[in-house]
C-alpha cells in the first residue's frame, strides 16, 4: 500500500509555505535523518544527530563498531549502514516510556534473527527479525505475544511504523497495519540502533528514524507517512 502523494494540505503547515517537518507534530522524542548528516561516502558514523532538539544523539566511540555513511542508497539519498557483525549506535539513557510510536525507513540486509532497534538496556523494547521464520518482524517489550508481521519482503525498503503500547501494540508497513498484539509493558529508556545492546547485530540500511511519545493517528499520521514516502520513495 502506498499513501497518495496528492495530500498537499498534509505536506504544508498552516501558513501553506513550508514543507512538512516531523518536528511540527507534538511529543517528538527523537529524530535521525541520514540525509542531514554532513559526511562523505564510506565515512564511519560516530554520531547520528538527533534533530528533535532533545540532544539524544546516537553515538559509537569504537572505530570498528561504527556503521558507514553511504551515498545514493535510496531515492538518490544516503543511508547509515550497519554491517550485521558488530556495528551499532546508542543513545544515553533517557526517560522514554510507553506509548512510543516509532517510524523507521529501512532496508534489511540480514537473514538471521536479530534487532533493527532496541531500547537502551538489554532487550527492553526491540523490533527484530524472527530467527528461522522467514521474513517476519516482531515487537517485544517483555512479551512474545506482541505483533508479528507476515508476508512482508524485508529485503525491500519499507517504512515500519511500530507502536509499543502494551496490549495495543501494532506494526504497520508502508501505511498498512500488518499485525497487532500485546508486546508487554517494558519501557525502552533510550535508543539502540542495529542491535540488542551488546548483541544480535542486524545488517541494515537506515534512512530516517523518528519516535513520538504518543500514537500518531488521523491527519498527523497521514502527513508523516506522506512526508516519508515522498522523500524516500519506498
Nine-digit cell string for 121? 538496556
Residue pLDDT, tens place only, 156-173: 999 999 999 999 999 999
Greatest CA separation found in the chain? 50
Confidence band, pLDDT 50/70/90 cuts, at residue 184: very high
Of the two residues 123 and 33, the one the predictor is more confident about is 33
The tens digit of pLDDT for each residue in 33-60 reads 999 999 999 999 999 999 999 999 999 9
Whether residue 106 contacts residue 160, with contact meaning beta carbons closer than 8 Å, is answered with yes
Total residue count of the chain as it appears in this document: 234
Task: Report all structural domains of the chain as residue ranges with CATH numbers, in order of start.
Answer: 27-37+88-234 (2.60.120.200)
Q: Convert the pLDDT of each residue in 76-121 to its tens digit.
A: 999 999 999 999 999 999 999 999 999 999 999 988 889 999 998 8
150 vs 3, more confident: 150
What distance in Å separates the CA atoms of residue 181 and residue 57, rounded to the nearest whole number? 30
Burial 125-138 (b: 16+ CB within 10 A, else e): bbbbbbeeeebbbb
Map residue 11 onto helix, strand or coil. Answer: helix
- Predicted model pTM: 0.92
Q: What share of the chain in percent tops pLDDT 90?
A: 81
Q: For the chain, what is the radius of gyration of the CA atoms?
A: 16
Rounded to an integer, what distance in angstroms lies between the CA atom of residue 79 and that of residue 232? 10
Q: What is the pLDDT of residue 105?
A: 98
Per the DSSP assignment, residues forming a β-bridge with 158 are 106
Judged against a pLDDT cut of 50, whether residue 3 lies above it is answered with: no
Cα separations in angstroms, 59 against 35, 62, 121, 188, 213? 17, 9, 15, 17, 22
Query: What pLDDT is recorded for position 112?
Result: 83
Beta strand pairing status for 137-140 and 89-90?
Answer: unpaired
pLDDT one-digit tens code per residue, 186-226: 999 999 999 998 788 999 999 999 999 999 999 999 999 99
Total Cβ atoms within 10 A of residue 37: 16
Q: Where does the pLDDT of residue 133 fall: very low under 50, low under 70, confident under 90, or very high at 90 and above?
A: low
Q: Which three cell numbers stand for residue 1?
A: 500500500
Give the CB-side neighbour count of residue 14, counting CA atoms within 13 A: 3
Amino acid at each position: 500500500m502506498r499513501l497518495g502523494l496528492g495530500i498537499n494540505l498534509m505536506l504544508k503547515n498552516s501558513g501553506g509555505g513550508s514543507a512538512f517537518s516531523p518536528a511540527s507534530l507534538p511529543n517528538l522524542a527523537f529524530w535521525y535523518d541520514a540525509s542531514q548528516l554532513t559526511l562523505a561516502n564510506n565515512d564511519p558514523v560516530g554520531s547520528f544527530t538527533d534533530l528533535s532538539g532533545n540532544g539524544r544523539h546516537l553515538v559509537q566511540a569504537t572505530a570498528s563498531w561504527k556503521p558507514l555513511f553511504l551515498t545514493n542508497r535510496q531515492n538518490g539519498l544516503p543511508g547509515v549502514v550497519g554491517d550485521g557483525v558488530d556495528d551499532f549506535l546508542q543513545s544515553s539513557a533517557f526517560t522514554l516510556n510507553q506509548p512510543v510510536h516509532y517510524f523507521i525507513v529501512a532496508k534489511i540486509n540480514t537473514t538471521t534473527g536479530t534487532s533493527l532497534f532496541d531500547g537502551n538496556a538489554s532487550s527492553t523494547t526491540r523490533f527484530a527479525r524472527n530467527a528461522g521464520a522467514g521474513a517476519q518482524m516482531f515487537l517485544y517489550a517483555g512479551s512474545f505475544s506482541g505483533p508479528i508481521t507476515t508476508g512482508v519482503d524485508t529485503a525491500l525498503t519499507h517504512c515500519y511504523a511500530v507502536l509499543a503500547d502494551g496490549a495495543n501494540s501494532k506494526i504497520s508497513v508502508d501505511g498498512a497495519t500488518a499485525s497487532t498484539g500485546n508486546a508487554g509493558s517494558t519501557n525502552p529508556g533510550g535508543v539502540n540502533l542495529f542491535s540488542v545492546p551488546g548483541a544480535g547485530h542486524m545488517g541494515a540500511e537506515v534512512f530516517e528514524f523518528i519516535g513520538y511519545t504518543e500514537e500518531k493517528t488521523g491527519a498527523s499520521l497521514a502527513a508523516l507517512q506522506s512526508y516519508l514516502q515522498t522523500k524516500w520513495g519506498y
